[in-house]
Chains A and B, each alone.
Chain A
Amino acid sequence: MTVTSLHNDKISHPTFQSRLGASKLTLKHGKVCIIENLDVSLPEGKVTAIVGPNGCGKSTLLNGLSRVHAPSSGVVLLDGKDIHCLPSKEVARRLALLPQDTLAPDGITIEELIRFGRHPHQSLLKQWAMDDQQAIDYALDAADLQGLKDRLLDTLSGGQRQRAWIAMSIAQETPLLLLDEPTSALDLGHQIEVFELIRNLSRQGKTLAMVVHDLPSACRYSDHIIAMKKGEIITQGSPKEVMTKELVRELYGVECDLIPDPMTGSPILINMKRVRS
């Protein structure tokens, strides 16, 4: 593990348990190298927030970890095995992905959308079983959608729709869940709603990783932060260890002060000014 850090005294090399990680991962878009030789792993049972400026490779990393983007070199390891060597359905029973652009079939209801989450558990001769219905009911409850289950997806508000997509991932019953900007384009209330749902899932033992833009939310709702710039991890660790003025300047070219939230103690950014980084 090579974690270059701004504060070497504070950051230890990751020693946590991990089910999903990558070693010497290189991801390219065509000929452009987005991520090169990256080592990363997600702490088990925790919420990991991946932060960094636009174009730093956050989403690419998430796509790489979820085997949507095949690596040019290096491996993604799921439970110690190369994810591209495992049967795709097998992977989908352990790892769910909620991507950013979520196109859905026409005229689909919430419950029908969530039912697609059961796809990896079904087969030609086992199209429906008791556990399918239970998983869907559980997902509806967890995302607080029981009252809306027969509504059409198109007719919902952005927050409700995002909850429906998360519910589909919940119905997939995977121990790992990766979310790409789950709260972008949501208003404050809906953002908090989605973050609280994510935290609840983590309390139930799931391992989650999400790409987030809002730093205070990342600090507040995650246990582990991975800060990326230009395809590299510049630092990682718990929010309190990692979040500093220096990091904010390094990532975004923004000068600011950090104060602890009086209620939760997680860092809040104030007095922000754009500077040249």
Chain B
Amino acid sequence: MNNQSLVISDSKQEIPTPQGYRLFSIGEHAHLLIEKQAVIRNTWLLIALFCACVVTLGSGTMPISPTEVIAVLFGHGDAMSQFIVQDLRLPRLLAGLFTGAAFSLAGCLMQTIARNRLATPGIIGIDNAAMAFAVSSIVGTGISLAPSAMALAGAATATALAFGLAGGSGTRGYRFIVAGIGIGAIAGAVTQLLLSQVSIDVANSAYPWTVGSLSAREPLMVNLLGAGLVICLVACLFFSTQFALMPFSDQVITGLGANIKHIRIIALTLCITLTGLAVAVAGPVGLVALVGPEIARVLAKYRGIPLVSSALTGALVMILADLFGRTVLSPIELPVGIVTAVVGGPYLIWILVRRSSRNSL
């Protein structure tokens, strides 16, 4: 799409395209079918995201005007603003953008392969296990000893356990999910047990990891997540036509020449990678995985599988929730996980109720 050499096919005969689509031909051999609605939708989401970023970067104890923020982003502005925006606020913003996009994209993938709009990566226990590991590192040592790395290790452990318990294959999906639910429940219980055994101060410092917060992030993890997110997004685009077949029954998918096992494994791998990396940055903010894709589906009018839109809406939800959490009770900071739960929960219920009145789940 962003290639300069692309031209609309002007061969002898114009190829008629389906309504609402546009054909981009790059050279002789590449013919990409692009949905106009999706391009428009994602452009608007990007604009909204940019505005939200500017507002976020400008707000805080030292308010900075949007024009000044934009100037700083393009390398101008005075030294003070530059320091505040680039060194203090930008890292947190990036963490919010990446985790929101990753959780939401992972949620969209999970809902696609589970064929259930209420499925999230959380149900396979990844975020609970990450939480348990992060909390145990804080509780065990009394100081936060790389809880991010522990969270990542927890996510990996949960995944490995779920795969192991599901018989190594994971291809059937459901066994894998049932195993994951069990692991998540155990990890949740372990976290509670650990917190109940330590002094209130230690429990307090472990607290952000139990609700999800952007304040405890580590730069290395944020960079890792950023790289992982880009790779997973590209992979999603690469496999998008196959993911689009998932709403059909298994027989139809096979009949159309796609391999349903491969589709499931690819989607599950992407989902686990994204969730694991995001949880290592922000802890469990699982609700974004439910709210982000749902908003994307509403915007897409419940047609197709809005992967890119999900990533964008997830990022938007995350930074708006964090902005809200930082400013509404300032100087007290509400963890982003609580804000998404308090604001996102009712919104989600509203969407689901409204939707169920005209269509079944």
Contacts and interface: CB of A to CB of B under 8 A. Distances in A.
B241 A91 contact: no
Given A63-B251, A103-B252, A130 B13 contact: yes
B22 to A, nearest CB: 10
B30 A125 contact: yes
Given A104-B248, A107-B302, A128-B17, A67 B359 contact: no
A38 interface: no
**Most chain B C-beta atoms within 10 Å of own C-beta, residue among A87, A89, A102, A130:** A130
Nearest to B25: A128
A103 B257 contact: no
Contacts of B359: 106
Interface in A98-128: 98-99, 101-108, 111-112, 115-117, 119-120, 122, 124-128
A88 B257 contact: yes
B302 A97 contact: no
Given A97-B251, A107-B302, A88 B259 contact: yes
A135 B295 CA distance: 35
B255 interface: yes
Interface residues on chain A, size class: 35 or more
Contacts of A97: 251-252, 254-255
Nearest to B23: A128
Given A87-B257, A92-B256, A122-B241, 5 more contacts: A66-B254, A88-B259, A90-B257, A105-B248, A119-B241
Nearest to A116: B256
B254 A67 contact: yes
Interface string A73-102: 000000000000001111111011111011
Among A101, A103, A115, the one with the most B-chain Cβ atoms within 10 Å of its Cβ is A103
A87 B257 CA distance: 8
Nearest to A87: B257
A63 B254 CA distance: 10
A172 interface: yes
B257 A92 contact: yes
A68 interface: yes
B255 A68 contact: yes
A200 interface: no
A32 interface: no
Interface string B254-265: 111111000000
A117 B18 CA distance: 14
Nearest to A154: B359
5 contacts: A91-B257, A97-B254, A98-B255, A99-B255, A128-B21
Interface in B1-60: 13, 15-19, 21, 23, 29-33
A96 B252 CA distance: 9
Interface string B239-253: 001001101111110
A133 interface: yes
A275 interface: no
A126 B252 contact: no
A133 B258 contact: no
B31 A128 contact: yes
A263 interface: no
A88 B31 CA distance: 22
Contact of B247 (A87, A103, A130, A150): A103
B303 interface: yes
A66 to B, nearest CB: 6
A53 to B, nearest CB: 22
Contacts of B304: 105
Nearest to A149: B19
A127 B301 CA distance: 23
Interface string B204-248: 000000000000000000000000000000000010010011011
A116 B248 contact: yes
Contacts of A120: 256-257
A107 B301 contact: yes
